[in-house]
Chain A
Amino acid sequence: MDTVLLSRIQFAMTIGFHFLFPPVSIGLAWLLVIIESFGFKRKEEVYVRLGKFFGKILALTFSVGVATGIVMEFQFGTNWAEYSKFVGDIFGAPLAAEGVFAFFLESTFLGLYLFGRDKVSKGVHLFSIWMVTIGATISAFWIIVAGSWMQTPAGYVIKNGRAELTNFWDAVFNPSTVIRFLHTIDAALIAGAFMVAGVSAYLILKNKETELAKRSMKIAVYFGLIVSLLELFPFGHESGREVAKYQPAKFAAIQGLYTSQTGAPLAVFAIPVMPPPELKAKIEIPGLLSWLAFGDFNAKVQGINDFPSNDLPPLFITFVSYHNMVVLGMLFILLMMIATYLLRKNKLWDTKILLKMFVWAIPLPVIACELGWISAEVGRQPWIVYNVMRTSDAISRNVPAGDILFSIILFAFIYLLIGYLYLYLLVKEIKHGPEPALVKEVLS
C-alpha cells in the first residue's frame, strides 16, 4: 500500500483518538474550578464531595489523554520526517513551549490536586486545580498555534530549502490562531458542561445523591448555556469568516459552494453527490453565505470551480463533517436553553425526558469536536502547510510501508482496548456515584 496513505491513516487514527479526551479534560477542569471555588468560599461539604467525584472522572480522562498524547509529540519525527525537516525551525517551538509552559504545570499540579487534599491547606488545594486548568488551557493554546500555522502560515521565509522563522510573534499569532483557540476552547467547555450535566442528570434520575447532583446540574446548565451560545456567536461565526478570508478553497468545500457567485446562498441541508460535484435535496437561504463570510448579502464568494482540481480538499467529507458539527452546536444551545427555562420555573428535576436526553448527550460535544477537527484538517488538504507544502511530500521516506502497517495495527489494537476500557470504567464510576459523606466531616 501507498506510504502516504498509510501515514495519513495512522496520523488520523492516533490524533483522532487522542482528541476524544482533551476537550473533556479541559472542560471538566474548568467546571471543577467553579465547584472547588464555591466549596472554598461557602465552606460546604457538598462541594468537596462533588470535587472528589468529578475529580475521579477528570483523572481517568486525563490519564488516557496523557497516554495517547505521548504519541503525538514524537510522531512528526517518526512518520513525517520530511515535514519535520522542512518546518522544524517554526513548528518545534510551540511543541516545546507546550511542554515547558503547559504539560509540566498540569501534570505536576494534578498529582497535588488528586492526592494532596489532606496534605495542604484549602487555599493551596484550590490553587492546584487552578494550575491544572490553566496548564491544560495553555496546552491547547500552543498546540493550536502549531496547527494554525499549518493552516495560515506567517512569520517565516523559505530559505535553505526549508521554512525559517523570521518573526516569532507573527508565527504564533498567525491569522487563524486566536479565533481557532477560542473556538476550540469553548468547544471543550461545552464538552465539560455536558459531561457534568449528563452525569448529574443520571444521578437525579436514579435518585442517588440528588442534593449533590442538583447543585452540579445547576452549575453545568448555566455555564453550558453561556458557552454554547458563545460558540455560535462570536466564535463559530468569526471562525467561518477567517476561513473564508484566508482559505477560500476550504471554505467553498465545507460550505458546498460549487460555483462562484454573488449573493451566495447558505446550504442548510443537502446531500453532496460526487462526481460531478453536486448538492441534492438542498435547502438554501439566499445571500446568507455571502453575508456570513463578508458581512454583505451581495458579496462574491468563490466556489470550488475557481480552484485547480489538484488544490482542492475532498469535498464530501468536509461538507458532511462541517454541517453535522453545526447541527450539533445548535442542538447544544437548544438543550441548554430548555434546561435553563425549566430550572428557572423549578421544573427541571421532574422533566425526566430532558434529564434522559442530557445523559445521552454526554458524548455529543466530543463528536462535534471531532467533526470540527475533521473539517478543518481535511479541508486543509492536499496541503500539509497551506499553499506551502503538500502532504504527499511530507512523509518519512526511509520508513517502509510494512513498518507503518505494523504500527497502525498495533495502535488500532491498543486504542480499541483502551477506548473500550475507558468507557467501561467511566460508566462504572458514574454508576457508583459520589462517596457517601463521612459522619465526622458532616459534624465539623
Chain B
Amino acid sequence: MDLNTIWFLLIGILIMGYAVLDGFDLGVGVLYLFTKDETAKRVYLNSIGPVWDGNEVWLLTGGGALFAAFPIVYATVFSGFYIPFMLLLAALIFRAVSFEFRGKVSSPGWKKLWDYLFGIGSLLPSILFGIAIGNIISGLPIDISGNYVGNFLDLLNPYSILVGLVSLSFFAMHGSIYLMMKSEGLVKEKVLPYVNRLWMAFVLLYALTTFFTFFEAPFQFNGLLNNPLFWMLFVLLLVSIVLIPVFVKANKFFKAIIFSSLTIISMIGLTALSLFPRLVPSNIDLDFSLTIYNASSSKTSMTAMLYIALIGMPIVIAYTIFVYRVFKGKVVITKESY
C-alpha cells in the first residue's frame, strides 16, 4: 500500500470518528429543538456537555489532515463550497458558545434564544455535511486544471439535498439512542418513540439515495460489485442496521449505539470504496477528477504526517476512552452542570 492510499484511509478514519462521535451530539442538538421541558433540555445538554468539544476536534483534525495530505482538495473543495461553508462555520460558532452562554442568565427570552441557536446550530451542520458528501459523490464541476467552476446554487441539487436528509436522519437517530443511554424516567420515555421513527426514516432515505445514485453517479459502481471488500462492508451495514432496533427493543442501548456507529462507519466505508482512488470526481470529465495522486502532498510530507498520526492518535483514543468511562451512566444535574 502506498502513502497516498494510507492517507486516503486515515482521512476516512477521521471522518468516521467524527461522524460517530460528533454525530450523536449533533443528533442530540437536533432533537433538542423538539423538546419543551426545561428538565429534559438540561439532561440533553449535560449528556453531551463534557464530551462534545473533544468530539468536534475530529472535524478540526480531519480538516488539518486533509490540508496536509491532499492540499489541492482542501483548497478546491473548501473555496468551491464557499457560501455553505460560511453558513456551517456560523452554525458551529453559535452552537459552541451556546453551552456556556445559555445557563448564565436566567431570563426565559435569553434561554429561548440560545435554545434556538443551539438547535439550529446542530441541525444545519447535520444537513450540510450530507449535502457536501452528496455533491462529492455526484461529482463537482472541476475543469482540466483542477479548478472548481460551479456556483452556489449548483450545490443545492435534489440528489445532494436527499443525502443531506440521510445524514440528518442518521445523526438524529444516533443521538436519540445516546439519549436513551444517558437519561431515565420521563425524559427517557419521551425519547423512545423518536428512536424507532428516526430509524425508519433513515432506512427509507438511505435506500432511496442508493437507488438514485445509480442514475446520478453510475461511475461510482464501476467494478464495485467484484470487490470482496464491498460485500464485507455491505453485509456489515445490513447487519448493523437490522440490529439497532433489536437492541433498542431489548433495552440494550450501549449495544444499539455500537451498531448505529458501525452503520455510519460502513456507510462511509462504502462511499470511500466507490470513490477510490478519486477524492473528488469531476462531472465535466472524469479524467479531470482530483485523485489521491494528483491532489496529494509530497512523499516527505506524507511520511512526516504518518509519524504524527501513529504517535498521536493511539494516545488520543486512550484518553478519550478514559474520559468517556468517567462520565458513563445517567446524567445527574448538579451545581456545575450547564
Once bound together, how far apart are the Cα atoms of A64 and B100, in whole Å?
Answer: 9
Q: Does A116 contact B (CB under 8 A)?
A: yes
Stretch at the interface among B78-86, B161-169, B190-198, B263-271: B78-86
Once bound together, how far apart are the Cα atoms of A327 and B75, in whole Å?
Answer: 40
**B327 and A92 contact, CB distance less than 8 A:** no
Given contacts A99-B57, A99-B61, A108-B54, contact A78 B301 (CB under 8 A): no
A64, A79, A89, A107: the one within 8 Å of B56 (CB): A107
**B79 and A73 contact, CB distance less than 8 A:** no
Sorting the interface of chain B by its residue count into under 10, 10 to 19, 20 to 34 or 35 or more gives: 35 or more
Q: Which residues of the other chain, B, contact A388 by a CB distance below 8 angstroms? A: none
B57, B65, B96, B312: the one within 8 Å of A63 (CB): B96
Q: Which residues of the other chain, A, contact B298 by a CB distance below 8 angstroms? A: 89, 159, 164-165
Q: Does A110 contact B (CB under 8 A)?
A: yes
| CB of B333 to closest CB in A, whole Å | 11
Per the 8 Å Cβ criterion, residues 405-444 of A in contact with B are 406-407, 410-411, 414, 418, 421, 425, 428-429, 435
**A115 and B49 contact, CB distance less than 8 A:** yes
Stretch at the interface among B87-95, B171-179, B228-236, B276-284: B87-95
Q: Which residues of the other chain, A, contact B326 by a CB distance below 8 angstroms? A: 112, 116, 119-120
Q: Which residue of B lies closest to A116 (CB)?
A: B326
B79, B90, B334: the one within 8 Å of A78 (CB): B79
Most chain B C-beta atoms within 10 Å of own C-beta, residue among A73, A81, A95, A117: A81
Q: Which residues of the other chain, A, contact B76 by a CB distance below 8 angstroms? A: 81
Q: Which residues of the other chain, B, contact A141 by a CB distance below 8 angstroms? A: none
Sorting the interface of chain A by its residue count into under 10, 10 to 19, 20 to 34 or 35 or more gives: 35 or more
**A82 and B96 contact, CB distance less than 8 A:** no
**B77 and A77 contact, CB distance less than 8 A:** yes
| CB of A75 to closest CB in B, whole Å | 8
Given contacts A93-B305, A96-B308, A396-B82, contact A63 B97 (CB under 8 A): yes
Per the 8 Å Cβ criterion, residues 60-87 of A in contact with B are 60, 63-64, 66-71, 73-74, 76-82, 84-85, 87
Once bound together, how far apart are the Cα atoms of A399 and B211, in whole Å?
Answer: 33
A70, A76, A107, A118: the one within 8 Å of B93 (CB): A70
Q: Does A166 contact B (CB under 8 A)?
A: yes
Q: Does A158 contact B (CB under 8 A)?
A: no
Once bound together, how far apart are the Cα atoms of A421 and B98, in whole Å?
Answer: 11
Interface residues of A (CB under 8 A from B): 52, 59-60, 63-64, 66-71, 73-74, 76-82, 84-85, 87-93, 95-101, 103-105, 107-112, 114-120, 131, 159, 164-166, 168, 396-399, 403, 406-407, 410-411, 414, 418, 421, 425, 428-429, 435
Would you list the 6 A-B pairs with minimal beta carbon distance, nearest first?
A88-B71, A92-B68, A77-B78, A99-B61, A111-B50, A92-B67
Interface residues of B (CB under 8 A from A): 49-51, 53-54, 56-57, 59-61, 63-69, 71-72, 74-83, 85-86, 89-90, 92-94, 96-97, 99-101, 104-105, 147-149, 152, 297-298, 300-301, 304-305, 308-309, 312-313, 316, 319-320, 323, 326-327, 334-337
